[in-house]
Structure 1
Amino acid sequence: MRQLYYYLERREWSCPEVGNVLKKNFVPDWPLLASYLISEASLMSSSRWNRYISALPRQPYSLLYWTPSELDTYLVASQIRARAIERITNVIGTYNDLKLRIFSKHPELFPEEVFNIDTFLWSFGILFSRLVRLPSMNGKVALVPWADMLNHSPEVETFLDYDKSSQGIFFMTDQSYQPGEQVFISYGKKSNGELLLSYGFVPKDGTNPNDSVELSLSLNKSDKCYKEKLEALRKHGLSTPQRFPLQITGWPVEMMAYSYLVVSPPNMSRQFEEMAAASSNGTASKMGIKYPELEEKALQFILDCCELSISKYTKFLEDGGTPDSGELSAKQANRKSLLKKMATDLCTSERRILYRTQYILRRRLRDMRSGELRALTLFNGFRKLFKQ
């Protein structure tokens, strides 16, 4: 094993007054780090981190930087669009909160030309793509300059951590590297959608063993027990619609429990609570539950949702998104081309998983129904035999 050490600097503000005001207002780690980045970036060559900050991308392609129109156009089929909107909304909400509580009260320290929504989106984008958790420091997050420039590979098992004896960050590799050979790190077991969401790239289709696609399931609003089922879900922190991850290898037991709840009839109302509990990701539900009398309906429900999702992916991949009206500059055309390619790569990989799920579901339902047919044929044969 080789260890590459990086000196761990203490976070000292070039403008101490800014840091003191934020700390006195108990600003949490993430927005505090984001504000620190903005403050240091505004100082340019006066900042001790100027060389590092100058090397950071000014407008990465993570979904935090996609416009609402781009998200709607290129990710109309993917559930990662909803997560991107949630993330953007949270960042904007954080900025508005800080602006109201702190920035507006100290304009001399937080001028709007420096601390604004654009710089906050930039700084949070940097944090989402570059922050690391240090196991030996109880999972504390940190920016590790230059070490965060390493590219991702799902085939390596590497990690960054803090070494108390040297007071430095070390990078532990799982293999030896030759001089001039590129060193990789793992960004974690993330799907292609998650990598696009935070890092702005999509691995080649079929190369990510951790890839998954989220399938959205919903209660039927015309269900006579809709309110009771929704109440049971909310009790366990769930909602409708609810997203579940599908992988090439299968789907989670929680999704099956949710499907049982969706298709369950009124006379099973006493089981609604159990089904909702098993739909959550709590440890108690990991063994799953089974309702043989609902199995076929639940699988058919999942298949219907899966095929609806496939149709959306197919429509996008065939249409390629809604074309832009008007002429585009060279820069706009290049951006559109890049975003469309990433979206196409993502949708192709996600649809592949959905196709695999569709195949498994169809086969299981066929086997169930053919088994029932054989049993019925055998039963009718016995009836005819005894009538003779």
Structure 2
Amino acid sequence: MESWLKRSGATGLDGLELADFLGIGRGIKALRQFEEGETIFTIPQSVLWTVDHAYADPILGPALLSARPPLSIDDTLAIYILFVRSRRSGYDGRQSHIAALPTSYTSSIFFAENELQLCAGSSLYATTIHLIQQIEDDYQKLVTRLFERHENLFPRDEFTIDDYKWALCTVWSRAMDFKLHDEKSIRLLGPFADMLNHSSQVEQCHTYDPISGNLSVLAGKPYECGDQVFINYGPVPNNRLSRLYGFVMPGNPNDCYDLVLSTQPEAPFFEQKRRLWVSAGLDSTCTITLTLTEPLPSSVLQYLRIQRLNASDIVSMTLHQGDAASEKISTANEIEILEFLVESISGLLDGFKPQLEDLEELLAKGVYTPAGNAWMAAHVSMVREGFAGNGRERYCGQ
């Protein structure tokens, strides 16, 4: 792969090499010193995996463009990867990149049922179950919209649902996203750059030049010869890390819990309440992030105060939309929402299996293989249960 990249105009690769790191796996090792902020290497736009490159391919492009409705960005990139992998000639450079990719992934969609059950009750569990079904549905749509219409391009034995899952996880775990001008964005995979592992101890240091289309990686900290070079994926919580990247970080400072609050249109005074939610910067269905430092955001109480308004409160609240329930409306309303929160969080805690104390003991005894699927699921579940417990304590204290 490196020789192909150098021939294509990549720079800086002589100071680096792919290496296996104990407890981490494959990554990129520095062969010389790098100062913080120094450009380590640059990958030219011609070898990047992008939607535009897929559409521009003389063989694949017309088939992709014929799909109705158009494929999503992730599906386009996944099909592009599988298409190149299936070709017998003409794509030697890109195939050398594919050959360097993992043959399997540890994302949560590949957890065995008993492993996934370890995080039952967490958002990772529900999201993963939904994602597995969504992948199956999306694959069947691809069969109808693309594979059956172009059987000569997509041999079914090389475009199975397992191949599709592998390609999707390649995209999810290795793609980089960049914001461009006019609120546009680009998602791409950069050969060699996608071998960089994550560390929260470095600054975000991968950049995209919209003029040249090149991808560059800078040193997010000083490196000595032999050090592993990292990039920062951003403030990603463990449930997302395990779902998209196949790893977790014990003690992750970015962990959070997504609380979903929803009200059906058939609820009493729904339209009046919807207007109040909008005036408060909320909506009838809201996902509110809880953190260890803020287990009870004011927006949770604000949403529920509006949701539980009775007939006598509606008129006065409508006249004072600027307040939008930012303060207590009445003692009865406040008691009702706090009782609801305590009951809901208690139910959530009861749904975690096994319980927090059991997970802590199992992890302490080393029952689960470090970095294995069960180990990851246990860490995600333990953090989620901790959030729920903190939330209940805070609600009870209101």
1:116 aligns with 2:157: no
- Higher mean alpha-carbon deviation, 347-356 vs 85-94, is at 85-94
- What is the deviation of 1:311? 2.6
Confirm or deny: 8 A CA contact 2:116 2:374 kept in the other structure.
no
Identity percentage of aligned residues: 24
Task: Confirm whether residue 361 of structure 1 aligns to residue 398 of structure 2.
Answer: no
Matched, 1:343 2:377: yes
Distance in 2 (alpha carbons) for counterparts of 1:266 and 1:155? 53
5 Å-filtered alignment, 1:186-205, equals 186-204=232-250
1:7-22 to structure 2, matched below 5 A, reads 7-10=44-47, 16-22=58-64
> How many residues in Structure 1 have an aligned counterpart in Structure 2?
336
1:192–1:203 contact (8 Å) kept in structure 2: yes
- The aligned residue for residue 148 of structure 1 is 194
State the one-letter code of the partner of 2:77. Answer: L
CA distance in 1, matches of 2:240, 2:233: 10
Residue 199 of structure 1, CA deviation = 0.8
SS in 2 for 1:102: helix
Structure 1 164/269 Cα, relative in aligned 2: closer, same or farther at 3 Å?
closer
Pairing 1:33–2:77 present: yes
Residues 192-229 of structure 1, C-alpha deviations (whole Å, 9 max, x = no match): 1111111111111x2x221102335566x9xxx83544
Tell me, which stretches of 5 or more residues in structure 2 are unaligned? 1-36, 360-366
Q: Distance in 2 between matches of 1:336 and 1:229?
A: 49
Residue pair 2:292, 2:387 contacting (<8 A) in 1 also? yes
Give structure 1 stretches of 5+ with no counterpart: 279-283, 321-332, 366-388
Q: TM-score, normalised by structure 2?
A: 0.72
Q: Deviations over 1:252-293 (max 9, x none)?
A: 333222221343334334579899xx9xxxxx99x9722341
Matches within 5 A, 1:1-388: 1-4=37-40, 5-10=42-47, 16-25=58-67, 26-43=70-87, 47-66=92-111, 69-70=113-114, 73-136=117-180, 138-163=184-209, 168-204=214-250, 206=251, 208-217=252-261, 226-229=267-270, 243-250=287-294, 251-270=296-315, 289-293=326-330, 294-313=333-352, 315-317=354-356, 338-363=372-397, 365=398
How far is 1:28 from its partner? 3.6
How far 1:347 sits from its partner (Å)? Answer: 1.3
**TM-score normalised by length of structure 1:** 0.73
Q: Is the 8 A contact 2:356 2:385 kept in 1?
A: no
Q: CA RMSD in A?
A: 3.7
User: Deviation at 1:147?
Assistant: 1.1
Task: Report the Cα distance in structure 2 between the residues aligned to 1:272 and 1:145, rounded to whole angstroms.
Answer: 57
Q: Radius of gyration: which is bigger?
A: 1
Instruction: Work out the CA distance in 1 between the residues paired with 2:346 and 2:314.
Output: 29
Q: Distance in 2 between matches of 1:264 and 1:288?
A: 10
In 2, the alpha carbon distance for the partners of 1:211 and 1:261 equals 28
SS at match of 1:214: strand
3-state SS in 2 of match to 1:161: strand
Contact 1:59 1:65 in 2 (8 A): no
Query: Given that residues 203 and 221 in structure 2 are in contact (C-alpha distance below 8 angstroms), is that contact kept between their aligned partners in structure 1?
Result: no
Report the Cα offset of residue 238 of structure 1. Answer: 5.6
Conservation of the 8 A alpha-carbon contact between 1:213 and 1:246: yes
The 1:292/1:100 distance shift into structure 2, 3 A limit, reads same
Displacement after TM superposition at 1:164 (Å): 5.7
Q: How far apart, CA to CA, are the structure 2 residues paired with 1:347 and 1:274?
A: 44
1:314 and 1:30, CA in 2 relative to 1: closer, same or farther beyond 3 A? closer
Worse overlay, 78-87 or 306-315: 306-315
Tell me the distance in 2 between the aligned counterparts of 1:195 and 1:288: 35
| Bigger mean CA offset, 95-104 vs 128-137 | 128-137
Once the 2 structures are TM-superposed, how far is the Cα of residue 48 of structure 1 from its aligned partner? 2.0
Deviation at 1:36, TM superposition (A): 0.5
SS of the residue corresponding to residue 156 of structure 1 reads: coil
Q: Quick check: 1:217–1:305 contact (8 Å CA) kept in 2?
A: no
Q: Distance in 1 between matches of 2:224 and 2:170?
A: 30
